[in-house]
Amino acid sequence: MNDVHKSRELASGPDGSLYDPGARSSLRALARDDTTLALEAAAAVRSAAQAVDRLRSHGAGGRGLSAGALDLLARLNTAPDEGLSIGELARAAGVTSRNVTGLVDTLERDHLVRRVPDRHDRRSVRARITPAGRAWLEAFREPAQRAMTALFQGFDEAELAQLRHLCLRLVENQRRIEQHLGAARPQGDPPQPTT
């Protein structure tokens, strides 16, 4: 599925909407009744996200920050002076605390973030952006804006708002499904594969 949209040629359907003939052909093996639209849409969202991440990574100037690390750095940039706990960062980013710990390790190694003791809980630490982290974000801002302007060339404000809205509806649906699956499974039972 990673290479579904590697074909170079896109086509237009009767309604003028773009589709990838190679992806459609590949996804027919997964579809019931030759209905590939939802699968094609999911593949297109993934390809678009990868395109954004590639440009964002390019704008990182070879510093090697992953999208997740960049997201945490941006969140810490707008955090209160005492920073955020690992748990707060995990909840905000929608990932596990273990994932955030690894990302903070990377950012701390690059001197972009620093762990500081939590003033209210001696057992806890908080992550706080450093002056070097703020400077890195400032240097990243201009190339990132140029890259996103180029990527979304030809989109008007209404289209960008609609794209944002549709992507966030996908996020809402995914959260609702996760909640449903979590509530349907007894505590401590591992997730079961679906058929």
Distance of CA 30 to the CA centre of its chain: 25
Q: What pLDDT score does 1 carry?
A: 44
The C-alpha atoms of residue 52 and residue 191 are separated, in whole angstroms, by 31
The C-alpha atoms of residue 23 and residue 5 are separated, in whole angstroms, by 6
The C-alpha atoms of residue 64 and residue 80 are separated, in whole angstroms, by 26
Classify residue 19 by its DSSP letter: E
Q: What pLDDT score does 58 carry?
A: 67
Q: What is the mean pLDDT of each run of 10 residues along the chain (195 residues)?
A: 58 92 88 84 91 74 75 94 94 91 95 94 92 93 85 95 95 90 64 51
The C-alpha atoms of residue 57 and residue 67 are separated, in whole angstroms, by 7
Domains and CATH numbers, the chain: 63-135 (1.10.10.10)
pTM of the entire structure? 0.68
Phi-psi region at 76: left, alpha or beta (left = phi > 0; alpha = psi -120 to 50): alpha
Q: What pLDDT score does 187 carry?
A: 54
Q: What pLDDT score does 3 carry?
A: 47
What CA dihedral angle connects 58, 60, 61 and 65, to 10 degrees? -100
Between vectors from CA 25 to CA 19 and to CA 30, what angle results, nearest 5°? 110
b/e string for 63-81 if b means 16 or more Cβ within 10 A?
eebeebbbbbbebbeebee
